[in-house]
Structure 1
Amino acid sequence: MTMEIRVLDPAEWDDWYGTLELAFGGVPESPEERQAWQELTRYDRSIGVWDGERCVGTAGAFTFRLSVPGGAIVPAAGVTMVSVAATHRRRGILTSMMRRQLDDIRAWGEPLAVLTASEPEIYGRFGYGVGAYATRATIDTTRVRLSVPDGTDDVVLRQVDPAKSTAEREAVYARRVTARPGMLVREPGWERVPLLDPEGERGGASPRQCVVAERDGEVVGYALFAIKPEWTPAGADGSVLLKDLEALDPVAEAALWRFLCSIDLTSSVRIHSRPVDDGWQHLVSDIRRCAPTQRDSLHVRLVDLAAALEARRYQAPVDVVLEVADAFCPWNEGRWRLTGDGKGAMCVRTADPADLSLSVRELGAAYLGGTSLVSLAAAGRVRELRGAALVEASVAFGSPVAPWLPHGF
């Protein structure tokens, strides 16, 4: 039968989501998670591929607003729930969904698409580049000591019910969004995501716990975490599993890290995802005993190249002509003159000679300031056609703060 791609009908959600679950191993999600994602699903922005009465492909797009260098908040489509049934691979289903989705995102007037990838190699051919990375680490708190700044003892820590502290935590998070590229404005409903804590996925750890940091009666930071108790013949060997941590200043942040590293009956703090330039790395006495590793996090795709490049700010004046290749979204192809600085930018088509040659994938990687054009050029991904253009553009595209995605979607 001929396969059909169409917008998701709410009545089809169970079958559609079941296809997604099966593609990711077939382990059903908890009712708590399933309900949360069903309520967050944008049906008008979700598509399915149907082979007769069977759903064999899924893809969705949340409506996000993303922080970019300079502090602006830019509309972005949060690509999500992408899957193809194992019985229908190698038939062009994924390509068809990506084609339909990017055309839709362009029609919606959103200059960016972003996603997290189950397999990083999948999305490069559709123009996505890795725009933000995250650090994982395990701090050995039996061997590592923290050196905290003056004033840390003045911060008051208070253990609270995670659900009852939502308003306080979200107020802190909202003030942090524009300070770091790659962070998402949490729209209504998304405040529940950090609290998703199915018992079947705890792996022996406690229910989620929360500590808030206060100064002069104001909440200035928080940490969401769990404790995984473990015992050896030598005694307690538990772990602190960090879920989320935000603070409004370095002193409050240091107070939270010191607390996490000193909880009784634990010997480590496991960090799942933190910015690559996170301050805790300079508080610890021995970074080797923390075993930090880095992995890709947010993948970025410029859907409307000119609008995307004009939306962000540049940390140095830039005037460069870009020769851009974009076979999948040909409306972006050609030469573009980008001029900008810390106050604003313009990007227009031009017939002037190109200074740099690259694909839209490299622009996506460099867009949030976490990957330098010089680094991409070292891999042969960017070609310099005018002397000094590469360094000038690379400095301008940079960000003093590393981009970071605070939670998945």
Structure 2
Amino acid sequence: MTSLRTDLSRPADLGGTAVRPISEDELGEWLRAVRTGFLQSPVVPVEELAAYGEQFEPGRFLGAFDGGRCVATFRSFGQQVTAVGGRPVAADAVTGVTVSATHRRRGLLTRMMNGDLAAAKERGDTVATLIAAEYPIYGRFGFGPATGAARWNVDVRRAGLDPRAPVPSAGGRIDLVEPEGVLAVGPGLHERVRAAVPGVVSRDAWWWRTRTGVLRLDTQWTEPFHAVYRAADGTVDGLVTYDVDDTWGDAKQPHHTATVRGLLAATPDAERALWHYLCSIDWVTHVKSDLRAPDDLLPLLLPDPRAALATTLTDWLWVRILDVRAALEARTYEGEGSLVIEVADPAGLTGGRWLLDASTAGASCVPTTRSPELTLGVTELAMLWLGDESALRLAALGRVREERGGAARADALFRTSRRPWCPDQF
């Protein structure tokens, strides 16, 4: 097997292009290359440079340099992703991946990715994660889409909600808060949600500071509204951040749209109350959601679910399994049973033949010589890991091979009653 092990401490010349970790002094040039790769203005705002300076971690910001110019970028950072059952799993989060149009097809991404995944394996990370800007790129590195995402546009006038009804219902209350209030209650609420929903990833203090404008990435920041839902006992069970535009019809009728930047709810009551609140704001005729799980409650919370139009339905969080045993033992399962799986990993980071003994309380996963009941690649295992994909579907596509009903039994164990969800982009 081909190993991904690569020593990035030594610059490697690939047709005159050196691939190496950057120094902190090179962060501005690196950010210029990131912005160029994502077709943004190459001018790096002072605010963005300062903000990323706080995040700089030697060895985890990689660049490819042609002369003094950075032409490809790659970054990773430590993260936790919630497995089915609520256990946090150590992840290598990949972001800032670009290759300039002038230097494509030279193996620059492959070298950076290979080195980073090898380092993550050595650190003991169980998985790697990323949000894929383009679908075809990351499968060849063993990543697979593990969660989906949906956006909704609610026509408030058709939703059927009573604008005269109290919001929220008796027992709770909604209050507008300032960014400081969000910083006080948001992290704790997020941890409650993260412990309950597979696919949710960790947020550090930097995340909260940039999302509230306390630390600004550029000069284009506009201050949003923040509202919290408090249960009858005063516990903060929900938080929503949103913008409202200023749109009027020809007859001076308001046609404002409230666009949700993020909505977290630890209870169904909080979720219902926050959506009802957004749909009851005077002048607001449409509400656009943030990225929700594809089976989100939002449409069914409305008397007329057809008032919620799905405007986005896509893959979202991608996962790369780095340790089969650790990943499968980290989660719980929907039922009880055993399954022999054989996992192929051409990169040689993980794989092998395993006996999975699974239950609602957890699992053991040990090497075995028994004949496999399900044979699949590490990409396909990543698609199954959080419970969103079906082994039977993958078998029908020829992407897994089953013996003795292995795909159906895998679905009975792996799939979850609610779909996993990752609300964040990174």
- Give the aligned partner of residue 417 of structure 2: 400
SS in 2 for 1:244: strand
SS in 2 for 1:291: strand
104, 111, 133: which one aligns with 2:148: 133
Is structure 2 residue 241 aligned with structure 1 residue 224? yes
Is structure 2 residue 29 aligned with structure 1 residue 15? yes
- Give the aligned partner of residue 91 of structure 2: 76
Alpha-carbon distance, 1:287 to partner: 2.6
Query: Is the Cα contact below 8 Å between 1:42 and 1:61 reproduced in 2?
Result: no
- Give the aligned partner of residue 210 of structure 1: 226
- Give the aligned partner of residue 39 of structure 2: 25
Tell which deviates more after alignment, 148-157 or 8-17: 148-157
Tell which deviates more after alignment, 371-380 or 361-370: 371-380
* Paired residue type of 1:133: G
How has the CA–CA distance of structure 1 residues 85 and 104 changed in structure 2, closer, same or farther, with 3 Å as cutoff?
Answer: same
CA-atom RMSD in angstroms = 2.2
Counting only pairs closer than 5 Å after superposition, residues 362-381 of structure 1 correspond to structure 2 as 362-381=380-399
Query: Is the Cα contact below 8 Å between 1:152 and 1:254 reproduced in 2?
Result: no
Once the two structures are superposed, residues 53-93 of structure 1 have per-residue CA deviations (whole angstroms, 9 ceiling, x without a partner) of: 22221111110011110110110011011111111101111
Query: Is the Cα contact below 8 Å between 2:391 and 2:411 reproduced in 1?
Result: yes
Structure 2 distance, partners of 1:260, 1:300, is 33
Query: Is the Cα contact below 8 Å between 1:355 and 1:389 reproduced in 2?
Result: yes
How has the CA–CA distance of structure 1 residues 249 and 259 changed in structure 2, closer, same or farther, with 3 Å as cutoff?
Answer: same
Q: Structure 1: where are the runs of 5+ without partners?
A: none
* Paired residue type of 2:115: R
Structure 1 distance, partners of 2:330, 2:340, is 17
196, 210, 213: which one aligns with 1:179: 196
How has the CA–CA distance of structure 1 residues 135 and 146 changed in structure 2, closer, same or farther, with 3 Å as cutoff?
Answer: farther
Query: Is the Cα contact below 8 Å between 1:63 and 1:77 reproduced in 2?
Result: yes
- Give the aligned partner of residue 110 of structure 1: 125
TM-score by length of 1: 0.93
Once the two structures are superposed, residues 245-282 of structure 1 have per-residue CA deviations (whole angstroms, 9 ceiling, x without a partner) of: 11222112211111101111111001130112222221
Counting only pairs closer than 5 Å after superposition, residues 299-314 of structure 1 correspond to structure 2 as 299-314=318-333
SS in 1 for 2:179: coil
16, 19, 34: which one aligns with 1:5: 19
Identity, in percent, stands at: 35
Is structure 2 residue 59 aligned with structure 1 residue 44? yes
SS in 1 for 2:170: helix
SS in 2 for 1:222: strand
Alpha-carbon distance, 1:146 to partner: 3.9
79, 86, 89: which one aligns with 2:101: 86
Is structure 2 residue 357 aligned with structure 1 residue 325? no
- Give the aligned partner of residue 293 of structure 2: 275
Q: Structure 2: where are the runs of 5+ without partners?
A: 1-14
Alpha-carbon distance, 1:3 to partner: 2.5
Query: Is the Cα contact below 8 Å between 2:28 and 2:44 reproduced in 1?
Result: no
* Paired residue type of 1:326: D
Query: Is the Cα contact below 8 Å between 2:27 and 2:49 reproduced in 1?
Result: no
Alpha-carbon distance, 1:34 to partner: 4.2
Structure 1 distance, partners of 2:49, 2:153, is 30
Alpha-carbon distance, 1:150 to partner: 11
* Paired residue type of 1:13: L
Once the two structures are superposed, residues 98-149 of structure 1 have per-residue CA deviations (whole angstroms, 9 ceiling, x without a partner) of: 1111111111110100000111111111111100011111000011124899
Query: Is the Cα contact below 8 Å between 1:149 and 1:254 reproduced in 2?
Result: no
How has the CA–CA distance of structure 1 residues 198 and 45 changed in structure 2, closer, same or farther, with 3 Å as cutoff?
Answer: closer
* Paired residue type of 2:95: T
Alpha-carbon distance, 1:22 to partner: 0.6
SS in 2 for 1:26: coil
Alpha-carbon distance, 1:332 to partner: 2.2
Is structure 2 residue 171 aligned with structure 1 residue 157? no
SS in 1 for 2:382: helix
353, 366, 382: which one aligns with 2:400: 382
Query: Is the Cα contact below 8 Å between 1:321 and 1:337 reproduced in 2?
Result: yes
Structure 1 distance, partners of 2:382, 2:406, is 19
Structure 2 distance, partners of 1:298, 1:277, is 16
Q: How many aligned positions are there?
A: 404
Query: Is the Cα contact below 8 Å between 2:24 and 2:53 reproduced in 1?
Result: no
Structure 2 distance, partners of 1:151, 1:188, is 30
Query: Is the Cα contact below 8 Å between 1:337 and 1:348 reproduced in 2?
Result: yes
How has the CA–CA distance of structure 1 residues 318 and 217 changed in structure 2, closer, same or farther, with 3 Å as cutoff?
Answer: same
Query: Is the Cα contact below 8 Å between 2:243 and 2:259 reproduced in 1?
Result: yes
- Give the aligned partner of residue 288 of structure 1: 306
Is structure 2 residue 368 aligned with structure 1 residue 350? yes
Once the two structures are superposed, residues 145-197 of structure 1 have per-residue CA deviations (whole angstroms, 9 ceiling, x without a partner) of: 24899982322111111333311122211111111011122233222243257
How has the CA–CA distance of structure 1 residues 217 and 26 changed in structure 2, closer, same or farther, with 3 Å as cutoff?
Answer: closer
Structure 1 distance, partners of 2:331, 2:425, is 23
How has the CA–CA distance of structure 1 residues 137 and 33 changed in structure 2, closer, same or farther, with 3 Å as cutoff?
Answer: farther
Alpha-carbon distance, 1:238 to partner: 0.7
Tell which deviates more after alignment, 218-227 or 107-116: 218-227
Structure 2 distance, partners of 1:228, 1:41, is 35
How has the CA–CA distance of structure 1 residues 258 and 321 changed in structure 2, closer, same or farther, with 3 Å as cutoff?
Answer: same
